[in-house]
Amino acid sequence: MTFGVILLGLVILISVIGTVIPQQREAMFYVRQYPSYYQLILQTGLDRVFTSWYFIAVIVLLCINLILCSLLRWRSLQAADPAAAVQNRRSDVRLGADQRQKVTSYLENTLHCQKREQGNRTIYTKYLFGRYGTFITHLGILLTVIFFAAGMALPKLHDTSCYPGESIVLDDGTDIHVESFAIEDESGKLDYRSVINVTLPDGRSSGLTELSVNHPVSLGNLKVYQQTYGTIGQVSVTDTAGHKDVFYVESNDFLSADGKNGILIDNLYPGLEETEEGTKLIMSTSGHYENPVYLFMVMQEGTQEAMLAFPGDELEVGGYTYRFEAPVEYPGLRIKKAPAYANISLLISVMILTAGLFITFLMAPVTVLVDEEGYLLAGGRPEGVRLKLKALAAEKGETHA
């Protein structure tokens, strides 16, 4: 049992680590988030603890330990007869006639015990099923550990990005629509909130629901997490007839009608900064781009020219008008889909564990021998029954054998 408790403690410790440290991210995530400890995290597998060899080994050992404990407990229960505890024993608390009457009345009328006559001896029993409380508790722990581990290992994870106003359609037909996303709230505080609508293949829908860090959206066996974010440039192109198309642009995207004339996007930057050496591009920032700027190449009639543009700027190249729009902020989503039976099985195992604890602590078996001399309390020796019997015996005094 001591070894089992140690193993259970290790499972809890590893699970806490796996909860504190985000799991299954790219290596660069840990380099940025944990610059002093990323090597330790990656080398010891703390970025994937629930599928690590040491977590699996502890789970296997704990399951073996619980199975052996349960088998030993079951064998001892099957071999034990409740009456055997008092079969060859005599009462150890002496009673007078009045006290004996009160004790038997309490056992029969208040506790409603079952009784078995053995000559001039009577054996009272109650809650005999309580003997199985520890066995059921062991079984509940075993099943909870197994299905918890399965729940950590079996879910399928899918990381993706989605621009506001667009949808992600999974292989099974699940539709995840991103209505909006904002990196900052109205006060300028970093917030990272999305508004999404999840629709399952069977038609169930979450409705427009707010999604934020540590507050996933759940529907059925699907969970959607707010994981990362990004900012992407946006350029609209209008031809001479007034037809307009809008494009999301990333590094090295070439917008051109003929493959020769157009603009080649270098990148979108958070803004410009003044230094002693002159004006420089801000290469990286966290949160909202305050003054975004586009760096691009104008490709026209075999010539190339590097240029900068801000949102709202327009440029005509090759008969097309290119307008640089405000960049779009978008969420990076982690979609977690667990087998339906995993969650149901875990719920059932927790219910079994709860039932085992309830039986163990609130349904302790009672076995009382009453003979001509007094009584003997054996079995589970529940404290409440012991105190009540002692009080009844003490009403006119008691003597011990």
What integer is the mean pLDDT of 109-117?
91
Straight-line distance from the first to the last Cα atom of the chain, in angstroms, rounded to the nearest whole number: 36
Whole-number pLDDT of residue 268: 95
In this structure, is residue 357 part of a structural domain?
no
Whole-number pLDDT of residue 209: 95
Indicate if the pLDDT at residue 401 is higher than 60.
no
Give the residue carrying structure tokens 């996007």.
Answer: 265
Residues 46 and 145 in one domain: yes
Give the residue carrying structure tokens 């029969």.
Answer: 108
Confidence category of residue 109, pLDDT binned at 50, 70, 90: very high
Consecutive H or E run containing 47: none
Whole-number pLDDT of residue 80: 58
What is the domain range of residue 181?
A: 156-230+333-348
Whole-number pLDDT of residue 216: 92
CA–CA separation, 257 vs 260, rounded Å? 8
In this structure, is residue 170 part of a structural domain?
yes
Which class for 397: exposed (0-12), middle (13-18), buried (19 or more C-beta within 10 A)? Answer: exposed
In this structure, is residue 199 part of a structural domain?
yes
Total domains in the chain come to 4
Residues 25 and 148 in one domain: yes
In this structure, is residue 353 part of a structural domain?
no
Residues 22 and 149 in one domain: yes
CATH number for the domain spanning 378: value is 3.30.310.10
Confidence category of residue 321, pLDDT binned at 50, 70, 90: very high
Share of residues in the chain with pLDDT > 70 (%): 95
CA–CA separation, 321 vs 313, rounded Å? 10
CA–CA separation, 63 vs 67, rounded Å? 6
Give the residue carrying structure tokens 């011990």.
Answer: 400
